[in-house]
Amino acid sequence: MKKLVTLLSVPVVLLVAWGGTNWYMGQQTETSLKHFIEQQNQASAQSGIKQELVSYEKSAFGAKAITKLIIDVPPLSGLGEIQFINDITNGPVFMGGTSPVQFGTARVHTQLDMESLEAEQRQWLTTAFDGKPPLEGNTVIGFGGSTDYDFLINPLKVDQDGTTVLLESMTLSGTSAADMTGNIKLQAGKIEIKDATAQFTLPSLQMDGDVTGMIGGQALGTFDLNMPGISILAEDTTVPVSFDLAVQSDSGVADNALSGKVALQATNIQGADDALSKLDFMTDVSGLDVAGVQELGKLQAELQSVQNQMLWSAESMETPEGQQKQQALMTQLTDTTGKIVETLFGKVLKTDKSRVHSTLLAESAKGKLNADIDLTYTGKEIPDLMALAGYGPNEWAKMLKGKMTLDADKAMLPPGTEMLLTPLSEQGLLKLEGEKIMSAVELAGENVTLNGQQMPFADFINKLAPAGMESGMPEEGGDPNMGIPDDLMQKIEAEGLTPEIMQLLEESDDVPKETIEIMKQLQQMQQQLGVEGLPETEPAPKADDKKE
């Protein structure tokens, strides 16, 4: 009897131990999930993508979590908020999945929350994905906070308004440690977009990456992307252009300096009328201060947030509240842009160490083209945004040193182009030697050597600038306010280049036209610096419109 009781107690003890372990794992999962979302939001802050945990309902052996994806960047911002259902099973042991046995605190099965969508959206997705879930994902959260994930986008086919979109399938898998290091792999089958007159086809795609760290919202490590057999049939053409495309990147930190390299190769180019058979591009950036890059990343995320809130429209400016909000956002935009400039020149770039080196090789049956640009930052001052806009040639000359070279065969150029080279040759910018086009520029402070001829940097700039543009460059020792009255300049320094101030500049009889053009360019720079695709501000209303 005693032996029987002992035998019966073994499974009871195991069951209690399993239940207790399972309960403990469940308590850790919610914390791990929140930490994971926080990490992802920090990494994607610059992209305008944010995740939120909507709800978390616990059960005996797991939980159900609803998460939400918010995209604030146009045009994807039109998608609104996308919800996902995450069915969580507590650990420590899991059967099935990507391997027979897995260990961890929890396994998460993720699907798109179809019920949260409008009926029309559900019907569209059901048709497009042939009744299958658009997205299926499995993630195992390890004991130390690491994750092992595998996501699948099922085959998609859309035929709408004469345009057909086809995606055979796409998978994303990898591992991520608690510090966000790990590996990542993206694979896609055939992708095709076509209508009656044009077509884009990508037979397959594969990307392999090894993430070694994160700085300023950017992933460090090595990444290798391959897209063979790309085919593009443009409108009004009968022969497609096809090529193989490969991209590699490598970035890391050494001695508190960030460096990164990106290389792109387009090979087996066909259907381009023999204009190009191979293209090889490389750019290498080094010597960037790590702490400065991290601070710059935060400012860029802040700038992105402000831009997402700026909805320039007639409706938004009709009410005093709307005008006040847009004014506040414009002021914040100006302040943040100013901080970006100061951080870039004061903390990111390191004098005599920050360097960018780019090379370009193009080949065809007719010849080759080689271009090389190797520049090093030599600036020592930290300009603010207004000072930067008023820089003359000598100020810019103090910021760079290095070389730029060009060596190309004339046969590479399209017919009729050679006559356009004559003015550049007369200016001394190019050297035409037989069947060769050559140029060599060496920057050394206020002096430049252009194809063997020494000259001041200002003269070199004048050769580059189109006729009539020289007058827009401030003269050395000239008016630092560029003709802007002191009271208006103080207003600019206090409020930034708001639409109202731009209107005052245009209405003033004292401000030169060249200065107004510079201010317009500066206003655009304020919005575009650090965030690609930032929309231009709505032009200030004319005086007559304001009176009306």
- On the CB side of 500, CA atoms within 13 Å amount to 13
Q: How far apart are CA 59 and CA 103, in angstroms?
A: 20
What's the residue count for the chain? Answer: 548
Please enumerate in sequence order all residues whose Cβ is within 8 A of that of 31, keeping only pairs 6 or more positions apart, or say none: none
Amino acid, single-letter form, for residue 547: K
Of 398, 473, 476, 406, the C-alpha closest to 443 is 398
Q: What angle do CA 28, 29, 34 make, to 5 degrees?
A: 105
3-state secondary structure of 478: coil
Q: Using DSSP bridges, classify how beta strands 355-364 and 367-377 pair: parallel, antiparallel or unpaired.
A: antiparallel
Longest dimension (CA), the chain: 110
Contact at 8 Å (CB) between 480 and 515?
no
Per-residue pLDDT of the chain (548 residues; tens, 9 = 90+): 333 333 333 333 333 333 333 333 445 567 777 777 787 777 666 666 788 888 888 877 778 888 888 876 654 555 667 888 988 887 665 656 556 667 777 788 889 888 888 888 889 889 989 999 988 988 888 777 788 889 999 999 988 888 999 999 899 999 888 788 899 999 999 999 998 889 999 999 999 999 998 887 678 999 999 999 999 998 888 889 999 999 999 999 998 899 999 999 999 999 877 788 999 999 999 999 999 998 988 888 888 777 777 665 555 667 787 778 878 888 888 888 889 989 999 999 999 999 999 999 999 988 999 999 999 999 998 888 778 877 888 888 889 999 999 999 988 887 767 777 888 888 889 998 888 999 999 999 889 999 999 999 888 888 876 543 444 444 444 555 667 887 887 777 777 777 788 888 888 877 777 777 777 767 665 555 443 333 333 444 444 444 33
- In this prediction, residue 344 carries a pLDDT of 92
Block residue for tokens 């009539």: 468
Q: How far apart are CA 35 and CA 57, in angstroms?
A: 17
Of 542, 260, 538, 514, the C-alpha closest to 389 is 514
Amino acid, single-letter form, for residue 120: E
Block residue for tokens 């992307």: 225
Contact at 8 Å (CB) between 138 and 109?
yes
First to last CA, the chain: 102
- In this prediction, residue 532 carries a pLDDT of 37
Contact at 8 Å (CB) between 104 and 339?
no
- In this prediction, residue 544 carries a pLDDT of 45
Q: How far apart are CA 22 and CA 90, in angstroms?
A: 6
Contact at 8 Å (CB) between 299 and 46?
no
State the helix-helix crossing angle for 320-343 and 513-528, rounded to 10 degrees.
80
Contact at 8 Å (CB) between 404 and 441?
yes
Q: How far apart are CA 272 and CA 231, in angstroms?
A: 11
Q: What angle do CA 396, 402, 405 make, to 5 degrees?
A: 115
Handedness of CA 428, 430, 433, 435 (dihedral sign): negative
With the CA atoms of 174, 175, 179 and 181 taken in that order, what torsion angle do they form, in degrees rounded to the nearest 10? -60
Q: How far apart are CA 186 and CA 205, in angstroms?
A: 8
Of 161, 159, 110, 112, the C-alpha closest to 138 is 110
Handedness of CA 389, 394, 397, 399 (dihedral sign): negative
Q: How far apart are CA 149 and CA 137, in angstroms?
A: 7
- In this prediction, residue 22 carries a pLDDT of 39
Q: How far apart are CA 385 and CA 403, in angstroms?
A: 27
Contact at 8 Å (CB) between 333 and 527?
yes
